[in-house]
Amino acid sequence: MLSGVSRVVIGFVAAVLAAATVQVLFAHPPAEIIDTGALAGRRSLAGGMDYLLQVAAIIGVFALSFVAIAVAVSEGLHVQGLPFYLVTGLGIAGMGLYARMKGEDPGDPSILNAYAMLAYATAGLAGGVVYWWLAGWRAGGRASAWDKRADAGPRAPALAVEPDTTAASSAMPVASSSPTAPATPPSPPPPPRFTIERTPPGTGPPRLFAAKTLERSDFEDIAEAAMVDVRRARKIGLVAARKADQELVVGTHWNGKETTNTARPGDWIVTNMSAEKELLRDDDGNVNTYVIKAETFPLLYQSVEGENEHGAFYKSIAVVDSIQLPGGFDIVAPWGERQRADKGYLIMNGRDIYGNHADTFEASYAILP
């Protein structure tokens, strides 16, 4: 009896940790998980683990009563098949998403979107698989079919058959007396994903050029090539944001045009403000406005009190990596358009890498120690 209870408890705890890990990975990239304390080294890792355990505790408390019912059914009826546990995991995840949706405040961005549903479904499936692997396949204390196959012992080896080499030898090609064809020259190396240029050469400030959208694996290489450190930063300025109700081309300006993006219905049109809720404007009086995808916005911002003509006020909940580029950048942004600035910062925010003009970055971000 004790071994059966231990099996169920261990399976439940492991399943909750697996589901929590999936939820955290969907909400934040791995680089952010170890930075919840906004520190470096072990303290950062400890802060990330504490954050993971907090998420696991919330999931465990919510799921406990549903899991108790499922365990009673599976143990009582000796349900040992994986599909039962996958369906149970999906069902609990669906109820969690529904509870989260019902708890939203009116006007806040809804959690009910494709990305969130995928996150909850994946977490539920992960929890179901882990529980089945550790406990479910022995539900009821009986050996499952899996056990019985393992206990049956090794099967007798199949009889070896000598290969017939007669046909192979008779089909052996005769060496040709024709001259050997020249070797194919090696393919030229692919062009670099980015370049760092300095004006004057060797001593000027680094300027980044990229002909394709940058990837996470490029970020550290860019910092090394520019000979600058990667710094963590948190957005301290607020934003005013509104949902697009129709397709709209949005230009981002800061002392000239920086980039263009297209907002589709449901996307968010965001305008930068200072921490004092004042709109950031360039020398020509333009506000700094840009587009954030519908499924990404709820992961980056939460609402605060206030609104203006550009929308309701929100504060950032994300931490980003940044590289200072005093010479600016000319790159392809994640939305497919070129992005240019004469001085700025390269930002890695989750899966996206994009630029930010130095003036707007320094007015709305704080570099973390």
- At residue 1, the pLDDT reads 46
- Give the residue extent of every domain in the chain: 2-150, 195-367
44-72 burial code (b ≥16 CB/10 A, e <16): bbebbeebbeebbeebbebbeeebeebbe
Q: What is the pLDDT of residue 142?
A: 52
| Residue 345: per-residue pLDDT | 97
SS3 content of the chain, % helix, strand, coil (to 5): 40, 25, 35
Task: Compute how many other C-beta atoms are within 10 angstroms of the C-beta atom of residue 227.
Answer: 9
- Chunked in runs of 10, what are the mean pLDDT values of the chain (369 residues)? 75 90 78 47 60 86 91 82 90 88 72 83 91 81 48 45 47 52 78 91 92 93 94 94 95 88 95 94 93 92 95 94 96 94 94 94 94
Residue 244 sits at the vertex; the CA angle it makes with 239 and 249, to the nearest 5 degrees, is 95
**Pair of tokens at residue 145:** 């079919």
* Pairing of β 338-341 and β 311-316: unpaired
Q: What is the largest CA-CA distance in the chain?
A: 88
Nearest one of 184, 59, 32 to 119, comparing CA atoms: 59
pLDDT (0 to 100) of residue 107: 66
| Contact yes or no for 341/355 (Cβ under 8 A) | yes
